[in-house]
Amino acid sequence: MNSVTVSDPGGKAGPAGRWRPREALLAAVRGLALAVVGLPGSIILFVVTVVSIVLIVAGVGVLTTPAVLTALRAYANQRRLLAATWSDVRIPVPYRPFPPDLRTGITGQVERCTLMLKDPATWRDLRWLVVDVTGGFVTALFTAALLIYPVEGFVLAVGLWRVFVDDAYWYTFVPVDSQSTALAAAAVGLVLFGAGLRYCPDLLRLHFRLTAALLAPAPGQALAERIERLTETRHDAVDNSAAELRRIERDLHDGAQARLVAVGMDLGTVEALIERDPAKAKELISKARQSSADALTELRDLVRGIHPPVLAERGLGDAVRELALRLPLPLEPEVDVELPGRPDAPVESAAYFAVSEALTNVVKHAGADRIWIDISHSGGMLRIAITDNGRGGAEIGRGSGLSGLERRLGTFDGILAVSSPAGGPTMVTMELPCVLS
């Protein structure tokens, strides 16, 4: 199971009960944005989704429902992202992956539609849309109103109350019909404004906790999906290990072993020629020396492919810098590393080879001449971002190298995110849970 894990650039909200004017004002603006944009967005998506599902009976919905549900998932994922970014509320992304052998054409559309409708997460998304236009709208709007509504009380005290002098105007529970009652309204507004400065971030978090309660899977289902995920990653780890052993055996057989056999044969010939043809023996010795040097180079390359010495000796940062220097690019990649310690060896190795695989994809497919690599650690997560100025259009799936990269990270409960609009730039973000020593 993946989850959205984005650190809040605006800083943490801090413990409840503290005065947080900046966070409160920001929470009010965000709450207003959620209410204004979320209400029509959720209503439109709900209506379109329901109509599309109903039209499945007529056959048309089979073609439209996958696209509509994909849009719904993107909308829900955007809310997950905002929950993590704005209020540090983590909401799992439990959508079932499509099988890699999913067919294309009409048959593929029918299969995709069936799989998406069988996914419990689809119906949780629909249920969330209903609540988002009711309880979600109210909690978001109340977050904004707690700081906006007091302004009316202040304006009434300044003199606006005179507009309503003929008819009593109620501000909360205060009938405003004179300067004294207008000042009373301002006092109520001041109390509300103070409450907003103190509790607006908590109200916004309440909105996202309501979202999490609806979008997150039930505990039992989450456990089942976790077990399924662990089973899948275990199979991937076993398959990757077997493939790696086959690669090592093939490289040894075709490379160093063949050269060492040739050296042995040359030395046997030298033994027979050393007395009757010293010049020929000397030539064969030189050839054997070169073959042994080539075998040693191949063995070193093989060892570097298993576990690079620079990774073991100097850590992930220096190993990635050395990797970047070997890339065939006109401009040297920019590598920024902020690691106060070293991850465990298995995580460090997985991160290194994931970076290597991602850089190989960039060189082969992106057509980029600039690469930026950022490595950091926070919140128990090792985060690696690789950005290039290539042509873009990279996607996870469809047999791309990114799918293998996702499986490699999945073995360690890692997350892969790709942002690659057509025309670029492309940003590949990898996160691995780990502690530093």
Ordered DSSP codes for 23-39:
HHHHHHHHHHHHHHHHH
Radius of gyration for the chain, computed over Cα atoms and rounded to the nearest angstrom: 31
d(CA 328, CA 409): 26
Cβ–Cβ under 8 Å, residues 343 and 382: yes
Q: Cα 325–386–355 angle (5° rounding)?
A: 65
Cβ–Cβ under 8 Å, residues 185 and 171: yes
Cβ–Cβ under 8 Å, residues 383 and 338: no
Q: How many CA atoms lie within 13 A of 408 on its CB side?
A: 22
Q: What is the pLDDT of residue 92?
A: 81
pLDDT by 10s per residue, the chain, length 437: 343 333 333 333 344 445 577 888 888 889 999 999 888 999 999 999 999 999 988 888 888 999 999 999 999 988 998 888 888 888 888 787 777 677 777 888 888 899 899 888 899 999 999 999 999 999 999 888 888 888 877 877 777 666 665 566 777 777 777 777 778 878 888 888 888 888 888 889 999 999 999 988 776 666 666 666 666 656 665 666 666 666 666 766 666 667 777 777 777 777 777 777 777 777 777 777 777 777 777 666 655 555 667 777 888 888 888 888 888 877 778 888 888 888 888 888 888 888 888 888 888 888 888 888 999 888 888 889 888 888 887 777 655 567 777 777 777 778 888 888 888 788 888 888 888 87
Q: Which amino acid is at 50?
A: V
Q: How many CA atoms lie within 13 A of 377 on its CB side?
A: 20
Token pair recorded at residue 125: 């998304």
Q: What is the pLDDT of residue 324?
A: 85
Residue 158, SS3 per DSSP: helix
> What are the residues whose beta carbons fall under 8 Å from the beta carbon of 232, sequence distance 6 or more?
410
Q: What is the pLDDT of residue 394?
A: 77
